[in-house]
Amino acid sequence: MKDVRKLMAERVALLNEAAKVYYQEEGEIISNQEYDRLYDELVQWEKESGVILSGSPTVNVGYQVISNLPKENHPSPMLSLDKTKEPEALREWLRDKEGLLSWKLDGLTIVLTYEDGELVKAVTRGDGITGEVITNNARVFENIPLTIPSKETLVVRGEAVITYDDFKRINETVPEAEAKYKNPRNLCSGTVRQLNNEITAERHVRFYGFSVAAGAEDEHYRHEQLEYINSLGFETVEYVRVTRDNILDEIRRYEDKVQDYYLPSDGLVLLYDDIEYGKSLGQTAKFPRDSIAFKWRDELKETTLTEIIWSPSRTGLINPIAVFEPVELEGTTVSRASVHNVSILKQMKLGAGDRITVYKANMIIPQIAENLTASGNINIPDRCPVCGGEAVLRNDNGIETLVCINEECPAKKIKSFAHFVSRNAMNIDGLSEATLEKLVDAGMVHEPADLFKLERYENEIVAMEGFGRKSYEKLVSAAEKAADTTPDRVLNSLGIPGIGAANAKVIAHACENKWSRIRNITETELMSIDGVGEVLARGYVAYFADSVNRERVDHLEQVLRINEDFADNLDGTLTGIIFVITGKLNHFDNRDKLKETIEKAGGKTAGSVSAKTGYLINNDINSNSGKNKKAKELGIPIITEEQFLELLRG
């Protein structure tokens, strides 16, 4: 018993740490599949021993709330679902009853409360007992109604998710491989819990209702409840009514569809359609008895690990990447997977020549599921593979990482420069990482300001491999164009941890676009800005306190033309008008460009249509989208881009 209790204690600690990193820090120290395997093993140990340790994830649900968002207890616990991977188990569970089979969307569970027809509160599931109040963010979700045609108190539970298309679009704006979001679920979790809802609005979070916790008292079946809230303007999860006779066919239909489904799903949910019958069954300490989850079986392929390569980043982290013999997974060929950190490398005992199984997490991100031979023969380098400088192991809360400590490492420089020239930063067109690497290697670029002085190396650049006179002229022209810029772009380009495009805009606005105020703002002043916390403020001030950083910023100021116009750059044409944008654009490169035009003219943008919306911009005026329907219900004008431009011209 003593040995089993020790194993259980170690397993509880590992699973809780993995859940903490996954749910709170948007990272990953073990794969989802490995977590499920270890969890199931713990359940078996608990059954055999009759012992459940304090803190076991088998009796605790969800993540612990740690953000600065307000907290609130749920009226009744929100339990997690028991699960199975066997279709036949669902059939046996259903017995002779009717059920509702629906997607199990992979996002963040949210509870919306409406009173007198108005959205008054939105709370995350949190740990099942206490959630975080995210009402401000929910108001900018892509598709929820802010008002409904019902005066009763209504509480709707559903899943906040980000589509695969939006996930890919957002990841394309993140230049560093290790900084990219691992999956839509992690991105959605961080987005929904932002303190600055401008970021939430930009990421197009969507909400799909799956149950009614209060209200709709006249409805006695789950499908009637979903039909009811759908009639009020909510989008609901896709569902089908099933019996034991057709449930296996419907499961297969969902399995076929998930390959191309636009929303992330990690399985299905089956619940009894009869609400009173479901309630009569009660619940266990952790699971309700009226519903059960079905998890997809990941497509696993066995292959051979050929090597671990080490990839440095602009932050200094040197990330292990597994390279293996190519295999076909979910319709594409894959040959490498991120191992994330040294801790995972050691836990999996990875080594060259090992037989491994691989899969795609959420059908997108290649992952190693299991190491079948576990040789552990990989040597962790003590030198950076790029600069040859010292690489050291660091332990942060039990997670080991490898870090290059050479501040002049070219890899750091190239990744940093790639961020500096990216679209949302200085937007210097035509400067790929390959070109930056050539410029850095040739000694032409040592710091960001050098990118605006390339005329000094005209002959050398023209003679560079892959270049010529025309390429040189395009590059210099792009840099000259980018030199006319704004304070928020400069701030974002510096790569200060936590300061992306949205936060840079917020800080610049708080400083009335005065660059001297932006670079000299105090920690206290920063923390008074909505969405800026203590950690971010401390790192921000420390960045500008560093003498090397200050010198680089000084040099940038000498080559840039920073437009500090604040109020004067608004002509007032659209002052006070709120616009919502949806659909494809024809005249603007992207929605950010259109939003920028609206804001310069004094208008505002929002993510969802409400009674306060002035116009909905949609080139497909006759579409049946949720936003179009809502606009028509509220009498909000729907205009095309051409009509918007006419409005702009006055």
What dihedral do alpha carbons 243, 298, 58, 6 form, nearest 10°? 150
Q: How far apart are CA 646 and CA 642, in angstroms?
A: 6
Residues 6+ positions from 592 with CB-CB distance below 8 Å: 202, 424
- Residue whose C-alpha is closest to residue 314's, from 206, 412, 239: 412
Contact assessment for residue 562 and residue 514, using Cβ atoms and an 8 Å cutoff: no
Contact assessment for residue 221 and residue 273, using Cβ atoms and an 8 Å cutoff: yes
CB atoms within 10 A of CB 75: 11
Q: How far apart are CA 483 and CA 224, in angstroms?
A: 59
What dihedral do alpha carbons 454, 455, 459, 461 form, nearest 10°? 30
Q: How far apart are CA 315 and CA 308, in angstroms?
A: 20
Q: How far apart are CA 367 and CA 422, in angstroms?
A: 28
Q: Active-site residue among 2, 20, 97, 104?
A: 104
**HSE-up of residue 473 (Cα within 13 Å, Cβ side):** 3
Phi, psi of 458 (to 5 degrees): -55, -55
Per the annotation, the verdict on 595 as an active-site residue is no
- Tell me the C-alpha to C-alpha distance, in Å, between residue 571 and each of 77, 231, 506, 512, 597: 52, 41, 21, 17, 11
Contact assessment for residue 503 and residue 582, using Cβ atoms and an 8 Å cutoff: no
SS3 110: strand
Q: How far apart are CA 613 and CA 497, in angstroms?
A: 35
- H-assigned helices in 283-393: 342-347
Q: How far apart are CA 451 and CA 479, in angstroms?
A: 7
Residues 6+ positions from 177 with CB-CB distance below 8 Å: 311, 313, 319, 338
Q: DSSP letter string over 548-565? A: HHHHHHHHHHHH-EE---
Active site residue ranges: 104
